[in-house]
């Protein structure tokens, strides 16, 4: 997909005769990597949102606006990495309440939690994935925070391999998280508290592409290098997520 899109952009630029050589080729500048995501509903939640991120070194500045969520209930929100770096579709069936999608049902698609998008002073690593005290809890939320991540995570997000997932779905319309189905992440919680409500893939922002890619004529290699470099790491993380979930399931039996 990415390769194709870059190729199309490069071809289009050539065809329309855009000035491709404005300055010297800068393969690794320090101006940051900008990403955007459109979040759409999962599990018929009615939720949606937009995300914007800027990766500069190991600093990730992220802004996230969400709406259509259950009011007065915490909504865990994360950047997931791993799997295929994609969102499941809204109608994808899962193992939860009346076929609802639970978090682990789509782990092969969006991967595992890499960054927890908590409010201050919440921690931001995977261990804070269910830090309910520090997540937004309104129907509509505006979130902004600059988070320090590992070099590997920073590079993966910059490469467009991050997926923003917002959790918490009131399947039965009771106005609160309840029901007999337990969360696949934490059996002390109802699944409504953790089931995914909205998802969006963090893609490299179109605006920044002419600077880094098209001008240099290196667009095709820029698209190839990251997936090659991170394929193994991503696979390992995906398997790790499965292992963790499997272990937790076993522990609860």
Q: How far is the CB of 95 from Cu ion (least distance, A)?
A: 17
Angstrom distance (rounded) from CA 163 to CA 161? 7
* Contact assessment for residue 87 and residue 198, using Cβ atoms and an 8 Å cutoff: no
C-alpha pair distances (Å), 185 with each of 60, 107, 221: 26, 12, 39
Residue whose tokens read 């391999």: 161
Angstrom distance (rounded) from CA 14 to CA 217? 10
Judged by beta carbon, residue 55 or residue 165, the one nearer Cu ion is 165
* Contact assessment for residue 118 and residue 74, using Cβ atoms and an 8 Å cutoff: no
Buried b (16+ CB within 10 A) or exposed e, 9-26: bbeebeeeeeeeeeeeee
Judged by beta carbon, residue 104 or residue 155, the one nearer Cu ion is 104
Kindly identify the residues of this chain, within the stretch 65-84, that bind Cu ion according to CB under 5 A.
78
Q: How far is the CB of 80 from Cu ion (least distance, A)?
A: 5
Q: How far is the CB of 166 from Cu ion (least distance, A)?
A: 7
Judged by beta carbon, residue 39 or residue 214, the one nearer Cu ion is 39
Residues 6+ apart with CB under 8 A from 129: 76, 78, 113, 116, 185
Judged by beta carbon, residue 78 or residue 171, the one nearer Cu ion is 78
* Interface pattern 190-219 for Cu ion (x via CB under 5 A): ------------------------------
Q: How far is the CB of 144 from Cu ion (least distance, A)?
A: 18
Q: How far is the CB of 203 from Cu ion (least distance, A)?
A: 18
By CB under 5 A, is residue 165 in contact with Cu ion? yes
Judged by beta carbon, residue 164 or residue 219, the one nearer Cu ion is 164
Angstrom distance (rounded) from CA 60 to CA 30? 13
Query: Count of residues binding Cu ion (CB under 5 A)?
Result: 2
Q: Which residue, judged by CB position, is nearest to Cu ion in the bound state?
A: 78
Kindly identify the residues of this chain, within the stretch 93-112, that bind Cu ion according to CB under 5 A.
none
| Structure token digits, residue 141 | 């939320």
Q: How far is the CB of 167 from Cu ion (least distance, A)?
A: 6
Judged by beta carbon, residue 33 or residue 78, the one nearer Cu ion is 78
Angstrom distance (rounded) from CA 161 to CA 138? 28
Residues that bind Cu ion (CB under 5 A): 78, 165
């Amino acid at each position: 997909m990415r390769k194709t899109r870059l190729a199309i952009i490069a071809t289009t630029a050539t065809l329309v005769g855009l000035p491709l050589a404005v300055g010297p080729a800068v393969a690794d500048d320090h101006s940051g990597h900008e990403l955007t995501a459109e979040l759409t509903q999962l599990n018929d939640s009615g939720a949606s949102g937009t995300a914007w991120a800027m990766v500069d070194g190991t600093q990730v500045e992220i802004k996230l606006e969400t709406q259509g969520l259950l009011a007065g209930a915490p909504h865990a929100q994360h950047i997931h990495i791993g799997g295929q770096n994609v969102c499941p579709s809204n109608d994808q069936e899962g193992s939860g309440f009346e076929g609802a999608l639970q978090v682990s049902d789509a782990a092969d698609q969006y991967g595992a939690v890499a960054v927890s998008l908590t409010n201050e002073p919440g921690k931001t690593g995977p261990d804070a994935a269910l830090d309910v005290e520090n997540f937004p809890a309104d129907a509509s939320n505006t979130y902004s925070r600059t988070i320090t991540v590992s070099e590997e995570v920073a590079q993966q997000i910059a490469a467009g391999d991050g997926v923003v997932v917002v959790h918490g779905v009131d399947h039965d319309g009771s106005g609160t998280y309840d029901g007999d189905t337990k969360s696949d992440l934490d059996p002390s919680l109802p699944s409504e508290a953790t089931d995914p409500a909205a998802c969006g893939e963090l893609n490299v922002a179109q605006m920044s592409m002419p600077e880094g890619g098209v001008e240099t004529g290196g667009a095709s290699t820029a698209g190839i290098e990251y997936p090659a470099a991170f394929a193994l790491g991503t696979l390992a993380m995906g398997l790790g997520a499965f292992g963790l979930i499997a272990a937790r399931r076993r522990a609860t039996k």
